[in-house]
Amino acid sequence: MHRRELKLGGRIQQPQRHGAVAMDKSRRRGVSANKRTRGVQRNEQLPFIPPEDWHEPLEERTDYRVVVQNPGAGFRHILSVADIRARLSQFPDEVLEALHVVQLSRMTRKKQSFPCYGMQWGTSLYLYPIEENLVEFYHCPPTPNQMNEARMYGGRWSQDSRTTWRLEWTEEAVRDFYLNNILIHELGHLVDSRNTSYVDRERYAEWFALEYGYKPSRVDRGPKQVMRRHHRGAARRLV
């Protein structure tokens, strides 16, 4: 029997839907509307409720599949099938050996209760849609890591009110974010066969996305910019 592991990634989790109704629903579910986490760590002592379609690994195959679902009302997929295949073709075959499916998932009301940009589960990678207008609302101030991470790819933060923050993307910026960050981060989870703890796996996936996503994509973009970010007390230098 296959052990079905859930690893949520996506660098920054997407926000809860903005509005009184959504906030009230969040409170009734026991979820604070102004409290978001970087990822969701699975509690092994609780029943596991599958958040996604499970794709059974195929023993005989020649390539991974790309599954495209309807993004849902008010949302859109950022990457196309061609985008995904072109980006992953830059990796050697041995890196993609364990990859069976990349799914562009639909956004549902249930999934909005634990929103994220991407997820790795078993031999599959899942990429989630974003708001059609490329504007996200948050009900708590972004952390320095969240601000730096979005700005690295061209996202713009602003404060609408005392309790509302906005993250805006351009077409070019959000495509860069998904193509060279989210997709590569989730691939990092897939190829990580050594780490077992949530923190260690996240640290490895972040390093993988930086080395094989961000840095290579900046080679032909002019002078390199040095940025510093802190992750759980450890400083990293992004070049």
Per-residue pLDDT 10s for the chain (239 aa) are 333 344 444 444 444 433 333 333 333 333 323 222 333 444 444 344 456 777 767 777 778 999 999 999 999 999 999 999 999 999 999 999 999 999 999 987 766 666 689 989 889 999 999 999 999 988 889 889 889 999 999 999 999 899 999 999 999 999 999 999 999 999 999 999 999 999 999 999 999 999 999 999 988 665 544 333 333 333 333 22
Kindly report the length of the chain: 239
Q: Tell me whether residue 118 is in a domain.
A: yes
pTM (2 d.p.) = 0.73
Q: How far apart are CA 198 and CA 203, in angstroms?
A: 9
Give Cα 94 distance to the centre of its chain: 23
The alpha-helical segments, DSSP class H, found in 168-232 are: 171-177, 183-191, 198-209, 215-217
CB 52 within 8 A of CB 103: yes
Q: Is residue 138 within 8 Å of 165, Cβ to Cβ?
A: yes
Domains identified in the chain, total number: 1
Question: In whole angstroms, what is the distance from residue 82 CA to residue 110 CA?
Answer: 29
- Cα–Cα distance for residue pair 228/239, rounded to 1 Å: 9
User: Is 164 contained in some domain?
Assistant: yes
Could you list the residue range(s) of the whole structural domain that residue 45 is in? 6-238
Residue 215 placed within a domain: yes
In this predicted structure, what is the pLDDT of residue 222? 56
Q: How far apart are CA 131 and CA 160, in angstroms?
A: 18
Residue 219: the pLDDT is 82
Alpha-carbon distance values, 101 to 87, 118, 122, 180 (Å): 15, 13, 10, 18
- As given in the structure block, the two tokens for residue 99 are 């990859």
In a domain, 1, yes or no: no
Q: Does a structural domain hold residue 169?
A: yes
Tell me the three state secondary structure of residue 38. coil
Residue pointed to by tokens 């979820």: 31
